[in-house]
Amino acid sequence: MPFHRSPMRYAHIIGYTTITYQADGDCIISVGYDGDFRIWHGIGQDDPPTVCVGEHVWTALQYDDRVLIATDLNTVQAYKYPSLDKDGIEFRFTAYVTCLFIAAGSEDATIKVLSLDNGEQFELEDLGGPVLSMDVSKRDLLAASIGDGKIHVWDIKTKALKKTIQGLPTVKSFEAVLYFASPAFEPTEGTLLAYPKGNEVIVLNTKSWQEVKKYVHPIPSRQLTVCGFSPMGDYIAAGSVVGDVCIWDAETGKIVEGDHQYEANPITKLVWNPKNNGELAISDANGQVGTVTDIFIESSEEDFEGGDIVLMAEKEKDDQKPGEFYDLFDECKNDDGMFFLRKALLFNTKNDENDVKGAVKGGKKNDVNEVLDNAESEKAESEKAESDTDEMNENCIELNKLKSEIMGPVEEPDVPLSDAELDDDEPRMVPKSYPQQPPFQPGSTPCEWEHCYLVYNHVGIVRRHATVAENSIEADFHDTQVHHSIHLQNFLNHTMAGLSETVLALASPNCDGQPSKIVCINQVAFGKREWTYTMPDCEEIIAVTASDKTVVVATDSRLVR
């Protein structure tokens, strides 16, 4: 039975979003770029409890009756859970915190570890890049993925660096990260360390640091970014930059079949439910969260041994119970072994079977042959009569004959059909169909022109220049005291635009294998003003419009988003 994946649903505004489970696994906790802390009692909850704890929230960790939350104030604030009353500050950094365990990693290339023995802290500094992801094992090992393309493993007690793994993607800022390369320890004993690289999940032994296993995504182009073991270590899951989740049986390496993704957004976090109930939760870079449930494999011993399907089919055939006349056929088989075929071809009625059965029980083999010969001659005469009928009707197929051969004898109707039912010459109404009108953008000119208008409305004018020397977009506003003109390079080949007092929306179709995208530039926000959304491969934007609060696109799938 395949696993089920819920549709991704809105949780936070577009930006880095992360999730974790409540310590008992009853609830899902999500935090995002909007500064909200949300508790989900099931992914389908319409209005989850929400508390705003800062301008931006980067990560959270819940344990016992406390929850640690990393905000834009570059601190790790402790709260009482679930009341969210402040309970002190655990860590302070010079940049925002990106991940939490008994240690906290930050954008400033520093990790601070809290000793469980005496409550003191020690630091791991000058790591070469922002800390992207961390995990802690039962063997007191701390693994951290760093933005310089390396994974470092330390012994927490001795503070010694045990292993450095290289060759991973590099990034200079946590906000720009796409490949987290999140390390994950096997949770029961901590003897294995897994991390994603390309389309593979590589597993190392934490004693010898030798590669012991490798799980490969069936699609070579899939680039994995996060991974994690199930609570008992019997499964391992990984999320990719296009939003799909792949799950393997940790022992056999067999892929667990399941639903495909709904949207192509990079997975930012993947966590298993601590209840070990075959469920995990995921979040993406579009501010959405979802779950994967019913994760298990039903397979027999032959599946693991790679049994031959032909041998399995033969075995299944041998295990079938014999039919009602199985022993009867053994007694009456003739010398050339053709009795079974004759029986199959000639028995048309229950009386034929009863006649043969009675003859066999009486021990008269000649009587059996006589019954079969009579049945054969009757069948030959019947087939001859049917062939003569076919010749007269020029091989036409009679409906009642076809029904009788498939469904058994068909009863003739007692009441004759009326003239209205037999009249096939009466004209019938056939609905007309008209070609669909091609999409168009109000206030625009054909995009095939070198200089064209993308939109012209009461707010301003958006023009596109596509020549040999220039490929750019220019936006001019009627009220220059409120907005300034915008001039930008058209790298994504935008051909549609929507303009309002608050936003400039630019849309591009599918081009050169790249999916359709929409880029929105907020005219009234401070800080990060631009956000993008990539459409699924099966949809292409054909029209776009914008108001003061919303941006709407129409796609070739006849959907409005």
Helix (H/G/I), strand (E/B), else coil: 248: strand
Tell me which architecture the domain covering 4-293 has in CATH: 7 Propeller (2.130)
Tokens of 77: 């604030």
Return the SS3 of 448.
coil
SS3 496: strand
Q: What is the pLDDT of residue 304?
A: 41
pTM: 0.55
Write out the two tokens for 191: 């003897």
- The answer to whether residues 100 and 90 touch, using CB atoms and an 8 Å cutoff, is no
- What was the pLDDT predicted at 430? 55
Reported as a pLDDT band with limits 50, 70 and 90, residue 223 is very high
User: How many whole angstroms from its chain centre is CA 236?
Assistant: 16
Q: In 217-307, at which residue ranges do the beta strands (DSSP E only) sit?
A: 224-229, 235-240, 245-249, 267-272, 280-284, 288-293
> How far apart are alpha carbons 120 and 114 in whole angstroms?
6
Q: How confident is the model at residue 203 (pLDDT cuts 50, 70, 90)?
A: very high
Which tokens is 318 given?
Answer: 């041998």
In terms of C-beta density within 10 A (0-12 exposed, 13-18 middle, 19 or more buried), how is residue 396 classed? Answer: exposed
What would the 3-class secondary structure string for 114-157 be? ECCCCCCEEEECCCCCCEEEEEECCCCEEEEEECCCEEEEEECC
Quick check: 494 and 506 in contact, CB under 8 A?
Answer: yes
Q: Are strands 97-100 and 86-92 parallel, antiparallel or unpaired?
A: unpaired
Tens-place pLDDT, residues 309-343: 444 444 444 554 444 444 444 444 444 444 444 44
Q: How far is CA 36 from the centre of its chain?
A: 26
Distance CA 103, CA 166 (A): 22
Tokens representing 505 are 């929306």
Residue 197's pLDDT is 94
303 has a pLDDT exceeding 50 = no
**Residue 181, helix vs strand vs coil:** coil
pLDDT score of 387: 56
Do 507 and 494 form a contact (C-beta atoms < 8 A)?
yes
CA atoms within 13 A on the CB side of 237: 27
Rg (C-alpha) for the chain, rounded Å, is: 35
546, 561 in Cβ contact below 8 A? no
Tens-place pLDDT, residues 59-89? 999 988 999 999 888 999 999 998 899 988 8
- Judged against a pLDDT cut of 70, whether residue 383 lies above it is answered with no
> Tokens representing 364?
């008269």
Token pair 């919303």 is found at 550
Q: What is the 3-state secondary structure (H, E, C) of 366-426?
A: HHHHHHHHHHHHHHHHHHHHHHHHHHHCCCCCCHHHHHHHHHCCCCCCCCCCCHHHHCCCC
The answer to whether 421 and 409 are in contact (CB under 8 A) is no
Q: Can you give the residue ranges of every domain in the chain?
A: 4-293, 451-560
Residue 168, SS3?
Answer: coil
- pLDDT of amino acid 212: 94
* pLDDT number for residue 138: 87
- Asked if residues 262 and 242 have their Cβ atoms less than 8 Å apart, the reply is no
Contact 272, 28 (CB under 8 A): no
